[in-house]
Amino acid sequence: MALDYRKCAEEIVANIGGAGNVVSAAHCATRLRLVIADNAKVNKAVLENIDGVKGMFESNGQLQLIIGTGTVNKVYDEFLAVTGLTAATKADVKAAAAAKDPLWRRILKVPGDVFVPILPAIVASGLMMGLVEAIPKFWPAFGNSDWYSFLDMIANTAFAFLPVLVAISTARVFGGNIFLGAVIGLLMIHGGLLNAWNAGSAENIAKFFNIEIDGVSPYLVDWKSFTGTVDIPTWKLFFFKVQRVGYQGHVIPVILAVALMSTIEKWLHKKVPEMIDLFVTPLCTVLVTGFVTMTIIGPIFSILENWVLAGAKWLAGSLPGAVVMGAIYPWTVVMGLHHMYNVIEAGMIAQTGLNTWMPIASAANFAQFGACLAVALKVHNQKTKSVALPSSLSASLGITEPAIFGINFRFMKPFLCGMAGGAVGSLFGALFKLGAPVYGVTGIPALPAVNNVGLYIVELLISAGVAAVLTWIVWKEEAPAAPVADDTAKTAIAAQEAKIEVPENVVISCSAGEIKAPVVGKVIPYTEIPDPTFAAGVLGEGVGVWPETEVVVAPYDGEISSVAESKHAVGITGPEDMELLIHIGVDTVAMNGDGFEVLVAEGDQVKAGQPLVKFSKEKIKAAGHPDVVVTLLTNSDDYENVTIHQ
């Protein structure tokens, strides 16, 4: 091992003003690309001499460190680890704060971090699945139609292959290769394994509970076929007996497996010589993870599952037990164990003819619906609202994953409020001995089957009501911590305070984009600017604006690339590296800063409309200069179709 990546990364961090000075970090084939908040804190001389850094330069507002192929990714990983930045390349203030959280909280945060990126998939599927599966409960004929099976297939795809989505997302969270993560996820639901949806270890569980299934559900037709006949095949590997069962619908075992994978991968990247790293590391990573997953993580989980199931069955048998179960039910959803409750329900129907588990599950699920709905109504953040609303709808139909993972569990307090609602609802259900002769449904779709519709509705309302009211009181929206949003807000406020008019008219357009006027006023082409150099286009093509106001604003989002010492001109680099020079007045360099107030500094990130320079038209006039605001695209040669708009 030639280079100590950790040391290299630490030295880089130390010489760029610390982790706090990094806005974002990314890497390409050879270079570590950093966006730095305050360039003054960067110690360039030392940076270049760090062992591992082969060179450095600044470009496009990025500090680029040349590190080399095959090495840069490792330094980058360490860099992320050292700085606490995420691979998402955003200055994630929250993540930085989270690093200080106690271990248990960081562990609880993982499922949320994993689920946020895959929310669109599961929100869509959850809602669709809830609807598609609810219709036959009210209109049985639909359940036999081609449309039903077709729509159901589309709806359940994301859930059937959930481990793959979870695996990819987990790999990203833990810094592993997402494709290797996908392989582990795919492995866990491989076609060569028995599908866990078809009972998983159902037969064993049926034996475990000594359930004889005679009572048949009208809703789950092939229960008998799979419990009666499926023999779970096993492999014998060393002294492990591995059941060939997949992990469909599972979350926690997948997260554990891929977290392990990422750890192994990163460790190997460090230890394996670079020359053979490319094939040795992925090979060993997949092999070891696959083996450990199937022989250790998997079996531990199936034992845990059996315990949970046994515990759940025992709890459901008593009144206080029902209350406890109603409370802890969502935790079993988080663990992905709720798919196995069919066994308990089927057993109940077989023994007593009445499924009293359903009211508990319904209370718990409906409480999550209530909590999620409360969040949807209370939250101001549009993005959260747009997730919370469909998620709560889906939860009311019995599919709670989107609500739990997307909203409640992430914010935790709504989840806990939901537990309380579930407990109260379950108590009510158990007191009035609610139940149904069917299983596999909860929430609204269970309405047609339940033994007392009126009381069942009351139970649902209690569960959701308690959870919603508690959530409304207890949960408060966190103030947005994202720095960008913050800046935008500040800009807006600053603009408002000064009553600055932000021009909306586009003055220059080219293949790289459009540039708005930096100041309100009459626009003239650069050829009419009263100065031979500007008019000749020596500094690039553009326009002049005879200003009506006295504030120059940023014409696009970008970075201040230069500020003239005499304060009369600023350069701003924007999208596609467009470099715009905003030069206030002609020959105003001679005023030596008098009459100008610069509001930004070199290296500042600015937003379109943000004030850059205040100037006094009166002083420019008094000094005998034209006050035209020269606005030139200095690298207009680099773009096509440069057009000027008056």
Partner 1 sequence: MTEFKYLIQDPLGIHARPAGMLAKLAKSFEGTTVYLTKDGNTVKASQLMKLMAMGVKAGDEVTIGCEGGDEAAAAAAMEQFLKENL
Active site residue 380: no
222 — phi, psi (to 5°)?
Answer: -100, 25
Helices (H) and strands (E) in the chain, counts: 24, 19
Position among 581, 598, 612, 629 found at the interface with partner 1 (CB under 8 A): 581
Look up tokens 């199936």; give the residue.
Answer: 302
Q: Is residue 423 a contact residue for partner 1 (CB under 8 A)? A: no
Q: How many residues are recorded in the chain? A: 646
User: Between 200 and 571, whose beta carbon lies closer to partner 1?
Assistant: 571
Point out which span in 253-261, 363-371, 454-462, 559-567 binds partner 1 (CB under 8 A). Answer: 559-567
Cβ count near 619 (within 10 Å) = 16
Query: What's the burial of 546, exposed, middle or buried (CB within 10 Å: 0-12/13-18/19+)?
Result: middle
Q: Is residue 230 a contact residue for partner 1 (CB under 8 A)? A: no
Q: How many residues bind partner 1 (CB under 8 A)?
A: 23
Q: Is residue 566 a contact residue for partner 1 (CB under 8 A)? A: yes
3-state secondary structure 555-577: CCCEEEEEECCCCCEEEEECHHH
Residue 574 neighbours by CB under 8 Å, 6+ apart: 513, 515, 555, 556, 557, 558, 559, 580
Separation CA 606–CA 556 (nearest Å): 8
Three-state DSSP state, 565: coil
Shortest Å distance, C-beta 573 to partner 1: 7
Shortest Å distance, C-beta 552 to partner 1: 14
Of the residues 269, 338, 339, 583, only one is catalytic, namely 583
590-595 contact pairs (CB < 8 A, 24+): 590/623, 590/625, 591/566, 591/619, 591/620, 591/623, 591/625, 592/566, 593/565, 593/566, 593/567, 593/568, 594/619, 594/623, 595/619, 595/620, 595/623
User: Between 531 and 550, whose beta carbon lies closer to partner 1?
Assistant: 531
CB 525 within 8 A of CB 543: yes
CB 422 within 8 A of CB 329: yes
User: Between 154 and 601, whose beta carbon lies closer to partner 1?
Assistant: 601
395 — phi, psi (to 5°)?
Answer: -65, -35
Shortest Å distance, C-beta 419 to partner 1: 58
Residue 197 neighbours by CB under 8 Å, 6+ apart: 160, 248, 249, 339
Point out which span in 120-128, 383-391, 509-517, 582-590 binds partner 1 (CB under 8 A). Answer: 582-590
Position among 86, 362, 573, 631 found at the interface with partner 1 (CB under 8 A): 573
Shortest Å distance, C-beta 94 to partner 1: 34
Separation CA 328–CA 323 (nearest Å): 9
Position among 130, 321, 465, 571 found at the interface with partner 1 (CB under 8 A): 571
User: Between 422 and 555, whose beta carbon lies closer to partner 1?
Assistant: 555
> Among the residues of 189-251, which ranges form H helices?
202-208, 223-229
Nearest alpha carbon to residue 375 among 395, 359, 360, 361: 395
Shortest Å distance, C-beta 518 to partner 1: 15
Partners of 573 in beta bridges: 559, 579
Chain positions 493 to 552 lying near partner 1, rule: CB under 8 A, are: 531, 533-534, 538-540
Q: Is residue 371 a contact residue for partner 1 (CB under 8 A)? A: no
Shortest Å distance, C-beta 13 to partner 1: 23
Point out which span in 129-137, 233-241, 518-526, 567-575 binds partner 1 (CB under 8 A). Answer: 567-575
Nearest alpha carbon to residue 545 among 641, 639, 633, 626: 626
User: Between 501 and 602, whose beta carbon lies closer to partner 1?
Assistant: 602
Active site residue 583: yes
Tell me the per-residue interface mask from 601 to 640 with partner 1, x by CB under 8 A, - otherwise.
-x-------------------------------xx-----
Separation CA 475–CA 466 (nearest Å): 13
Shortest Å distance, C-beta 560 to partner 1: 9
Position among 583, 600, 604, 636 found at the interface with partner 1 (CB under 8 A): 583
344 DSSP 8-state letter:
H
User: Between 182 and 535, whose beta carbon lies closer to partner 1?
Assistant: 535
User: Between 33 and 583, whose beta carbon lies closer to partner 1?
Assistant: 583
Shortest Å distance, C-beta 589 to partner 1: 4
User: Between 261 and 598, whose beta carbon lies closer to partner 1?
Assistant: 598
Shortest Å distance, C-beta 66 to partner 1: 16
Position among 477, 486, 548, 565 found at the interface with partner 1 (CB under 8 A): 565
Point out which span in 268-276, 355-363, 579-587, 621-629 binds partner 1 (CB under 8 A). Answer: 579-587
Which amino acid appears at position 470 of this protein?
A: L
Written as six digits, the tokens of 111 are: 């499922």
Written as six digits, the tokens of 269 are: 């990247």
Shortest Å distance, C-beta 615 to partner 1: 15
Position among 319, 590, 601, 622 found at the interface with partner 1 (CB under 8 A): 590
Chain positions 441 to 480 lying near partner 1, rule: CB under 8 A, are: none
User: Between 128 and 582, whose beta carbon lies closer to partner 1?
Assistant: 582
Point out which span in 80-88, 179-187, 421-429, 560-568 binds partner 1 (CB under 8 A). Answer: 560-568
Shortest Å distance, C-beta 587 to partner 1: 8
Point out which span in 88-96, 317-325, 380-388, 565-573 binds partner 1 (CB under 8 A). Answer: 565-573
User: Between 80 and 584, whose beta carbon lies closer to partner 1?
Assistant: 584
Q: Is residue 589 a contact residue for partner 1 (CB under 8 A)? A: yes
Position among 133, 541, 579, 627 found at the interface with partner 1 (CB under 8 A): 579
CB 545 within 8 A of CB 646: no
Cα dist from 477 to 146, 541, 558, 600, whole Å: 44, 48, 30, 32
Residue 619 neighbours by CB under 8 Å, 6+ apart: 591, 594, 595
Point out which span in 216-224, 419-427, 505-513, 568-576 binds partner 1 (CB under 8 A). Answer: 568-576
582 — phi, psi (to 5°)?
Answer: -110, 110
CB 418 within 8 A of CB 106: no
Cα dist from 362 to 16, 31, 340, 355, 445, whole Å: 55, 54, 15, 12, 10
Separation CA 34–CA 29 (nearest Å): 14
For 258, how many CA atoms within 13 A lie in the half-sphere containing its CB?
Answer: 34
Q: Is residue 39 a contact residue for partner 1 (CB under 8 A)? A: no
User: Between 234 and 533, whose beta carbon lies closer to partner 1?
Assistant: 533
User: Between 431 and 538, whose beta carbon lies closer to partner 1?
Assistant: 538
| Residues involved in catalysis | 28, 583
Please report, as ranges, the residues that interact with partner 1 according to CB under 8 A.
531, 533-534, 538-540, 561-566, 569, 571, 573, 579, 581, 583, 589-590, 602, 634-635
